[in-house]
Structure 1
Amino acid sequence: MMNTLYEKILFKECNAYKNKKLIVAFSGGKDSLSILHFLVKNKDLLSISDIIACHINHQIRPDSDDDEKFAKEFCDKLNVKIYTYKIDVFDYVKKYKVSIEEAARILRYKKLYDLLNDIKYDFIVTAHHKDDLIENFFIRVFRGTPIYNLSGFNINDDVIKRPLLNINRECIEEYIDYYQLPFVVDKSNFDEKYLRNWVRNKIVKEIKSYNKGFLNNIIRLIDESKELSDYLKRKCFVEVNELKEDFIYFSKDRLLKYDEYERKFILNDILRCYFKVEKKHISSILQSLYKNHSKRVILPENYIFEKSYTNCYLYKKHYLKDFEIIKKEEEKEIILPFINKKIVFSGIYKDMQLIVRNRRNGDRFKGKKLKDIFIDKKIDLIIRDTSVIIENNGEIIWVENISENEDIKIEKIEGGYYE
């Protein structure tokens, strides 16, 4: 029996979960508690195969452990299995120089995805609702987000389900009140130093008190933004090669065939899968495209964008770290897992002690600057910086992508990123 508007709307949304196994992201607050309670209550009616909960303890507030305890006790009453995880948000903030909110989001979703893959379930269900969608709209507007990216959430994936998007906060509260459900209150939601809280408590609340109909106009604009995004995706296409989850590349010439507005869209659409993109990031990248030489742009979360001769690359900073390894006598191979390569030595080289490294400033090969040789061959910058160099007694005797010698071979190991 459907006793509230919440249930009537949600029942239609959840019909798609027939024979599916669900992980509900469960904080213990009103939103996630309502969806977990509804799904468990109607599990048989909706023919859902299984439902479990996942609680992420961000360890940000003094009462975070109390929330975790509540989540466990509530799930115990519902007879629902719960997985709980603690994450170190402040360590991530310090390491990657992102906001507390951003760090919490990244680590939270990572845990959810890891659990989904480990237990082989079908979907992750989150409690994002219509008010969240509107709050996201204002946050993106204030941050200068392009008009084609005013809809949705930072993470959009086929396995992420948000059945509450047609339900507002008032409907959720009606459901909670009707069934007299207990819940936890995150006191940080009232701290207006966080942009979302300020938008919720000042902007959205004021609009609701003045004219709720204005919010429907915002929803229509959000829908139009998605329509524009979908149109541009069909019109502008650049094939992205993902060689590792933190290393991709695509054709520079393919990107440049589009006009500047379309380039902005393509870049934004690619980069938003890896970090929160701002207008300044796109602007810096576009400027790099018009340079005659290779150019790198430093981006959030240790990512680097590189415009080179043939391709544009996006990769993590660790690919540029220096390495130097001593190959001992009679050692037949050296494995470099951090760049996914294996060097195999034969002939006279397998019995020699050699140095295996990447290039350094001032390197010379056969009397010529190594940098100039790479440039003459139009070898992309990241390929130069990760090319293997073999040195003997202080002299470079072999360079990957330049030298030809059957007694020194490079093999790509699983997950390798170079062609």
Structure 2
Amino acid sequence: MKNDVFLKKFRQTIARYDLLEIPPAAGLGRGDKILVAVSGGPDSVALLYALLEIKDEFNLRLYVAHLNHKLRGRESDQDQKFVKNLASKLNLKFFSKSIDVKKEARKKKLSLEEAARLVRYRYLENLADRIKAQKIAMGHHADDQAETFLMRLLRGAGGSGLSGIPPKRGKIVRPLIEIKKEEIEKFLKQKGLSYRTDSSNLLPNYFRNKIRLLLLPQIKKNFNPKIVDVLNRASNIISLQQQYVEKNCEEILRLVCKSKRKNKIVLDLKRFIHYDISLKREMIRLCVKELVGDRFASLTTSSTELSFDSIERTLSLIQKEKSGRKVKLIGNTWAEVSGENLAIYSRKEKQYNYPISFPGKKNLRSLGMNIKSKIVSRPSLPQKIKSKGEEVAFLDWEKLKGQFRLRSRRPKDKFKPLGMQGTKSIADFLIDMKVPRYERDEVMLLTTKGKIAWILGHRIGDEFKVTDKTKKVLRIELIQKQK
């Protein structure tokens, strides 16, 4: 058949990158549940029909998802209607959602391209989780790979960026990634399949469009007609090299890492500085990748990607020993030098304010800690309690009347620290205690009747201390959890 070449390459890509689960035999066992992202354009329509061709062979369960970005008015609505009718015609379950991307872009201060990409990935990942799909199939192809390579090259990307669009990452699979645009269009024409054309793709007003419409045609015409193949090969070579570097760097990182929490990784600078600069860069990148998680794959556009410059600024802080200074790496993720430590952390934007009761054990998963507490009699404790409230706090139970709350610190918070005269702002207290800047925003407070009884892990309030007159003592133990 005429379509054999296209489907042969499609199957080869699936096998080469292990994109789909292969049942033990045709008709036996359940294959993957796949959420197919269908915009209505030629690439996603070809992807859907190609998956239908191998559906029985792999025992696939296919579902269609469409996101209406609301960027082209009536045209966007017609795209959505087209995909809905296509899914109905093929007897496939259809999911769709409309999101005002312009509004999202303004809200998050992103370009339209960036906002559209982020909401699309978020929608697909959330939907896949909801319907328990093992895979999300997307229609990126070889020409997309070539465009991405050039875009990142022109922006000064390193090995990670030039590795390009991965065939597989997490739940996302891209079975068309080694198939060229002209081959996709030929497949659609031979099968007599209709599709939608996105008019915005025909205008050279976005960076990617300029690459596609202006730069690549000139390179094909004047330098190399096989430039798409060449750039794909280069991207693949760099990707394999990058995988090797990452694997080795992960082993080194385990030696350099001092501590790891949900939103923070602390590296030992004494060890870190002895490695080659290329490995230092890669260690920083891997730390960011771990903190950002699944979002790292989609943060690949100009204003949100982890830039070479931000990593270089971090290395400059280390070289100049600028303790207490920080560099923004990506999104809300920062690097900060503090003494002999390099902390890479994501600043928490959420302000916590929980009601909490005592005694008992509390698992505060979102804060990465446990709290164990019990009430003990004063005579059962030593005459002089040495703890000031670091990992264990001893508080006069009778003075703790009222509702307890566990909350984030606020700019104007003040308290009277144990053993000190007068009140002090929490911020000044933490600075005096030489708490690194990257840890100050994470500090949690235990309050009662609006008064600060304990800065967790640091100091109790003087008015709640245990005295000779104390009868009952609330003993609270803080257990920090590693990620």
TM-score between both structures, scaled by the size of structure 1? 0.83
1: CA distance, partners of 2:273 / 2:435: 19
1:354-365 to 2 correspondences below 5 Å: 358=409, 360=411, 365=417
Moved more, 207-216 or 139-148: 207-216
Q: Which residue of 2 aligns with 1:10?
A: 10
User: Is this contact kept in 2: 1:31–1:127, CA < 8 A?
Assistant: yes
Which residue of 170, 174, 192 corresponds with 1:162? 174
Query: Hey, what does 2:398 align to over in structure 1?
Result: 348
Tell me the CA shift for residue 242 of structure 1.
Answer: 7.0
- Identify which of 409, 414, 417 aligns with 2:476: 409
Q: CA deviation at 1:157?
A: 1.5
How many Å apart are 1:262 and its aligned residue? 1.6
Deviations 1:320-356 (A, max 9, x none): x5x78999xx987999997567877961243157886
Superimposed CA distance per residue, residues 208-244 of structure 1 (whole angstroms, 9 cap, x where no aligned partner): 3343234433233212311331221132222588754
Specify whether residues 417 and 360 from structure 1 end up closer, same or farther in structure 2 by C-alpha distance, changes over 3 A only.
farther
Of 25, 29, 50 in structure 1, the residue corresponding to residue 41 of structure 2 is: 29
Match of 1:251 among 267, 272, 285: 267
Match of 2:66 in 1: 55
Q: Deviations over 1:26-73 (max 9, x none)?
A: 1000001001012113312x2233111111111111121111000001
Residues 329 and 335 of structure 2 are in contact (CA less than 8 Å); yes or no, is this contact kept in structure 1? yes
- Per-residue deviation, 1:86: 1.6
Paired position in structure 2 for 1:82: 94
- 3-state secondary structure, aligned to 1:229: helix
Q: Deviations over 1:146-176 (max 9, x none)?
A: 1443022289613211111221011001011
CA distance in 2 between counterparts of 1:374 and 1:345 reads 27
2:443 equivalent to 1:387: yes
Contact 1:96–1:302, Cα closer than 8 Å, also in 2? no
The reply to whether residue 283 of structure 1 matches residue 296 of structure 2 is no
Q: Which residue of 1 aligns with 2:239?
A: 226
User: Which residue type is aligned with residue 181 of structure 1?
Assistant: L
**AA matched with 2:128:** L
The root-mean-square deviation of aligned C-alpha atoms, in Å, is: 3.6
1:362 to partner: Cα distance: 9.0
User: What's the counterpart of residue 391 of structure 2?
Assistant: none
Partner of 1:216: 229
2:148 partner SS: helix
Closer/same/farther in 2, CA of residues 2 and 123 from structure 1, 3 Å limit: farther
1:104-161 deviation digits (Å, cap 9, x = unpaired):
1111111111122111122111111111110000000111111443022289613211
The Cα of 1:10 is off from its aligned counterpart by: 1.2
Supply the AA of the counterpart residue of 1:96: K
Seen in structure 2, the aligned counterparts of structure 1 residues 39 and 395 have a Cα distance that, compared at 3 Å, is closer
Within 5 A, what are the aligned runs for 1:46-125?
46-62=57-73, 63-125=75-137
Q: What's the offset of the Cα at 1:381?
A: 2.8
Percent identical among aligned pairs is: 26
Using the alignment, how far apart are the partners of 1:95 and 1:337 within structure 2?
29
Residue identity opposite 2:454 in structure 1: W
Aligned length: 409
Compared CA separation, residues 372 and 356, structure 1 to 2 (3 A): same
Structure 1 residues 154 and 266: CA distance shift in structure 2, 3 A: farther
Q: Is the 8 A contact 1:4 1:175 kept in 2?
A: no
Moved more, 387-396 or 303-312: 387-396
Question: What secondary structure does 1:401 align onto?
Answer: coil
Letter in 1 for 2:277: E
- Deviation of residue 297 (structure 1)? 2.7
The aligned amino acid for 1:267 is: I
Q: What's the TM-score once normalised by structure 2's chain length? A: 0.73
SS of equivalent residue, structure 1 residue 79: coil
- SS of equivalent to 1:208: helix
Matched, 1:314 2:345: yes
Tell me: CA distance 1:332–1:359, structure 2 relative to 1, closer, same or farther (3 Å): farther
Tell me the CA shift for residue 300 of structure 1: 4.4
Q: Which among 331, 335, 340 is matched to residue 301 of structure 1?
A: 331
Which stretches in structure 1 are left out of the alignment for 5+ residues? none
Contact kept, 8 Å, 2:324 with 2:336, in 1: the verdict is yes
CA distance in 1 between partners of 2:285 and 2:334 (Å): 15
Q: Which amino acid aligns with 2:267?
A: S
